[in-house]
Structure 1
């Protein structure tokens, strides 16, 4: 007996609801569409289409993985972020909607050269470059596997000629100066890891937590940024929603001006940013070399 696509969707929905998966109806359409090789945007119009016999076994495997709380993006292999689809694997952090706040904040000022620290899938850097045809950038990560994912995403978005990916522990192998530095570092404390959603156990732990108080990465990124920013360049970092005061204080202590906090769509503190004034602003008593010849 032939099976239609709508049967697969219902089967997936029932199984996901029994497992307590939020958004079961939406996820059921996505999983069934992948199993039946139907574009997700055509799922609602394809309920009466007859599907291939192997779609059933594929869907059963997808459901089994999702019930074990494997992230949906790891099953489908992609995640929608900002205006593009990105390849996602267990080697990179699953891009989340709140990180789009970092993208929107970056667009508040012009930039040509951007550095993305801890790039993962490359979704932040590549989203910025895709929207700014004249910009170029560098993405760094300590994970070779993560950089392979980022390289693949750059190629698929036809951005390879405008970006470079480096294996680097924050700034350790970075040269040059940039108009903009961005980062979504691991900011979950070791204590908080115990209470996170089970889906996060499938993501790289080092991209989530510093195994300490959640602030270790900022203690390296913020003081080190000045050496890699042009005067009036900006540093933007994503934060946990309770960390704004502590991270903003690090910006001010390190010499940044116009330090501000941007909320995400849920109204929670999400991005801290500041402007690097340059050496002359911090040490006004030192005259620029050019002034000696004026």
Structure 2
């Protein structure tokens, strides 16, 4: 790189560099990395388009570019991911929130907006689902569980940063809630990727995101087979279960939910099976 660069020139160069390497969203990723380097938000980059970037800043930016090219996800590099228009701290102890999970949260909001409910997020990870529901359903009570205390520490930070109150519990599935009253809604995004699919994942996912948040035993649905009987016991009559599943798991997911009265498979934005929605009779 030459000695004198401004923000615009760095963005143009980095976008081309990322594009040549076949990376998705090259412009967005260039903006996120440069904004992080300069301690600004992305909007400010455009306001300061002609601002010179000094050698120390360029060196820091170069190091982030190198990390990204090696495969490290941008969310881990900058330390956060936007989800449901909220910001969530993430690191290698938690899964990076996905747009498909936003689809599930939006479906829940369509069903529950304006109501006062008792909700549990099972396997909360970063807390993205629980915090979003607590934020957009402010009169509801939200509780969340995770088997990983490390993940819960991140979820607690995200709840505090987004100014919502959530009751977090460490433990397996719904086991920590044995003494809780019945629930109106249970939502879960548990690991559902079987070993053969896990081995074929993009290295940026497989080599950086926590294996325990992705890899599931058997055909990928074993954890849900354990959760569904617990959910039936814990839900109120008329209560709902929402669960994110793999694109090829719609039919077996419907079959394992046979104890529920109404069962539906909801498609994701690409038209693939993604969400199990089940209502208790």
Tell me the TM-score range normalised by the shorter chain.
over 0.9
> Partner residue of 2:64?
62
The DSSP-based 3-state class of the residue aligned with 2:145 is strand
Q: Please list, as runs of the form range in 1=range in 2, the aligned pairs for 1:199-278 lying within 5 A after superposition.
A: 199-200=204-205, 201-252=207-258, 255-277=259-281
Q: Which residue number corresponds to residue 131 of structure 2? A: 126
Question: Paired residue for 1:179?
Answer: 184
After superposition, the CA RMSD in angstroms is 1.5
Q: Secondary structure of the equivalent of 1:202?
A: coil
In 1: Cα distance, 2:260 partner to 2:60 partner: 53
In 2, the alpha carbon distance for the partners of 1:41 and 1:15 equals 22
Equivalences for residues 1-294 of structure 1 within 5 A: 2-107=4-109, 108-109=111-112, 110-159=115-164, 162-175=165-178, 176=180, 177-200=182-205, 201-252=207-258, 255-277=259-281
Which structure 2 segments of 5+ residues have no match? Answer: none
- State the Cα distance separating 1:264 from its structure 2 match: 1.4
- Using the alignment, how far apart are the partners of 1:114 and 1:47 within structure 2? 45
For each residue in 1:99-134, what CA deviation from the matched residue of structure 2 results, as whole angstroms up to 9, or x when unmatched?
112112212134511111100000001111100111
CA distance in 1, matches of 2:122, 2:218: 19
Q: How many residues align?
A: 273
Secondary structure of the residue aligned to 2:65 is helix
Runs of 4+ in 1 over 6 A off after TM superposition: none
- 3-state DSSP of counterpart to 1:173: helix
Q: Report the structure number with the largest CA radius of gyration.
A: 1
**Greater alpha carbon shift after TM alignment, 87-96 vs 13-22:** 13-22
- What CA distance in whole angstroms lies between the structure 2 residues aligned with 1:52 and 1:140? 46
Match of residue 282 from structure 1: none
